[in-house]
Amino acid sequence: MATKDAKKSNPSAKRGGKKEVKKETGLGLSYKKDENFGEWYSEVVVSGEMIEYYDISGCYILRPWTMSIWETMQTFFDGEIKKMKIKNCYFPLFVSPGVLEREKDHIEGFAPEVAWVTKSGESTLEVPIAIRPTSETVMYPYYSKWIRGHRDLPLKLNQWCNVVRWEFSNPTPFIRSREFLWQEGHTAFATKVEADTEVLEILELYRRIYEEYLAIPVVKGKKSELEKFAGGLYTTSVEAFIPNTGRGVQGATSHCLGQNFAKMFEINFENEKGEKAMVWQNSWAYSTRTLGVMVMVHGDDKGLVLPPKVASIQVVVIPVPYKDADTQAILDACSKTVNTLSEVGLRVEADLRDNYSPGWKYSHWEMKGVPLRIEIGPKDLANNQVRVVRRDNSAKVDIPVDKLVEQINDMLADIQQNLFDVAKQKRDACVKVVKTWDDFVEALGQKKLILAPWCDEEEVEKDVKARTKGEMGAAKTLCSPFDQPELPPGTSLTCIWIFSLLSAIITTTVHVAPHTGWLGEERCLVISKKTN
C-alpha cells in the first residue's frame, strides 16, 4: 500500500542530509486489487479523486481529475468527426411520451430504465415527461422535417450530453450509473454503402480512444442479433477485458440502424431520379464508462495508474529539502523544471506545499496515478540533475538537467506503450479457445475469455446463458470479431464468437488473430462475463 511504501522509503536517509521525521500519510488503500476487486475499485476512484459519492444512489460527482481525462478524449474525437464533416448540435433532455413510444421495438429495450418527470412544484403534470435514455426518438422527427431531397443528404450530427437510465441494481461508478456523460452521433445517408462505411470509420475512432489514448487493447466485432441495438439493422462494438475478474466490458458501439427508424419517423427524400426513398441511418456512442475501464485495467494497490496521453498532470515535481539545505534554491529549481517542461507542451505541476512531507506527497501523487514524479534535493542540485520515478513500474533514474526535455518525453512515450503492452499480455493470457461444451464450462469457471464456434442462433444463445447461470454469472456473447482465428477442422459452423461471464459489475472480452472478413463472411465470436 502507498502508506506502507512511504514509511519504508525515506528519501532523506538514502540521498544525504539528516533524517527527516515522517508524518503519518493517512494514504493507502484498504483493499487489494487481487483480493477484493469490487471494494478496491470503489475505493480507488474516490481516493484517486476521480469521483465523489452523491446522496442519490447511482449518481456521482465527476471531479476535475476525471473531467480533464474526459476533455482530452473529447478533443481528440471531436476533431476527428469534424474531419468527417459531422457537426455538433444539442437536443433537449426531455421527451414527450408520444415521441418516445413511437418506435416500440426500440423503446422496449429502454423502458425499464426511463425516468419520468411527473410533477412541477406541487402540481401533477397532465402529461408526464420522460428524460432521455438515448436520443433516436428525440431527434428523428426533426430529421424528417429537415430532409426533403438528395441534396439534404448526408445529414451528420453529433451531440455531447448526459443521459439518464434509472432502473438497475448494483450501481458502479463509471461502469453503471444512473446519469452519465457521452457523445451520440446520428447520421442519415442516401445509400447503405455510405452508412456501412461510416459505421467502421467511427468504430476505428473508438479503437483509437481505447488503444492509443487509454492504452487498453480492444476487440472490434459485430454483435449477435440478440445483443444488437434494439430496432437497428446491426451493431458493431469494441470490447475490453478485465483480467482480474474475467469479465468483458462493452467499450463503445457503432450501429447501422438500417431503414427501420426512417420508416417509423417518415424520413424520406426525393432521389436524383425523382423517386421517393427512405434514408439509411447510423447511431454511435461512447461514454464515461471508458474511464472506469481505464481504472480497472491499469490501477494497482497504490491507486490509479494514468496513461500519459490522458493524464491531467503528466509530471509532478516535488522538492526534497533537508534542515541544512538551501531550501529556496531547491524550490527555484523545481519552478524552473516546471517552466522548462511546460514550454514544450507537457502538463506539469510542482507540489510546493510545506505542510506535507515528501513521503506523503509521493503517496498522494501515486494514488492519483501521475505518470512521472521528479524529485529535487540538495544532491540533485549539486549534480545538476533530477531524480525521476515512473508510476507504472516504480523505476528510478537520474537525468541531467540539460537532457531533461528529451528524456522526459521519451519516458512518457515509453510508459504509454508499456501500459498497453502489459494490458495486452494480461488479456491474451486469459484467452481460451474451446471446441467442446465441457471445455467451454471449464474455461468459464476459470474466468477466461472464450473463443468458441457458434451457429449464431438466438435460441442457442439464450440456452447457453441459461445453462451457465451460476454464482459468478452466466455466459454472454460479446461479439463476432472482424479478425478471425481459424475454425476447428471439420466444423460445420461458419463463425467463432467471443464469450465471457455475465456480472453485476463488469464484463469480459477476447483476443483473436488474422483478418478474414465480417458481415456475411466467415466470423468469429467472443464470449465472456459482461455488465448488465
Q: What is the pLDDT of residue 308?
A: 98
314's grid cell: 503528466
Q: What is the pLDDT of residue 488?
A: 61
CB 181 within 8 A of CB 74: no
Phi-psi domain of 447 (left: phi exceeds 0; alpha: psi -120 through 50; beta: other): left
Q: What is the pLDDT of residue 13?
A: 39
* Strand partners for 278: 268
Q: Which CATH number fits domain 315-427: 3.40.50.970, 3.40.50.800, 1.10.12.10, 3.40.1390.10?
A: 3.40.50.800
> What is the three-class DSSP state of 235?
strand
In order, the DSSP letters of 28-52 are S-SS-TTT-HHHHHHHHHHHTTSEE
Q: What is the pLDDT of residue 102?
A: 74
| Sign of the alpha-carbon torsion through 469, 230, 257, 87 | negative
- Taking alpha carbons only, the member of 434, 448, 411 closest to residue 491 is 434
Q: What is the pLDDT of residue 515?
A: 30
CB 361 within 8 A of CB 351: yes
* Strand partners for 496: 453
**DSSP H helical ranges for 357-515:** 358-367, 378-383, 404-429, 437-445, 458-467
What is the rounded CA–CA span in Å between residue 187 and residue 195?
A: 8
- Residues in contact with 67: Cβ distance below 8 Å, sequence separation at least 6, in sequence order: none
CB 238 within 8 A of CB 206: yes
Q: What is the pLDDT of residue 105?
A: 61
- Taking alpha carbons only, the member of 529, 532, 531 closest to residue 450 is 529
Q: What is the pLDDT of residue 507?
A: 26
User: How confident is the prediction along the chain (532 residues), in pLDDT tens digits per residue?
Assistant: 344 343 333 444 344 444 444 444 557 899 999 999 999 999 999 999 999 999 999 999 999 999 999 999 999 999 999 999 999 999 999 999 888 877 666 566 667 788 999 999 999 999 999 999 889 989 999 999 999 999 999 999 999 999 999 867 789 999 999 999 999 999 999 999 999 999 999 999 999 999 999 999 999 999 999 999 988 999 999 999 999 999 889 999 999 999 999 999 999 999 999 999 999 999 999 999 999 999 999 999 999 999 999 999 999 999 999 888 899 999 999 999 999 999 999 999 999 999 999 999 999 999 999 999 999 999 999 999 999 999 999 999 999 999 999 999 999 999 999 999 999 999 999 999 888 889 988 998 898 998 888 777 888 888 888 888 876 677 888 999 998 877 666 665 556 667 676 432 222 232 232 333 222 233 344 555 444 3
Return the domain boundaries, the chain.
37-298, 315-427, 434-508+519-529
What is the rounded CA–CA span in Å between residue 306 and residue 303?
A: 10
What is the rounded CA–CA span in Å between residue 335 and residue 318?
A: 10
In CATH, which superfamily holds the domain spanning 37-298?
Bira Bifunctional Protein; Domain 2 (3.30.930.10)
Domain pair 37-298 / 434-508+519-529, same fold: no
In CATH, which superfamily holds the domain spanning 434-508+519-529?
C-terminal domain of ProRS (3.30.110.30)
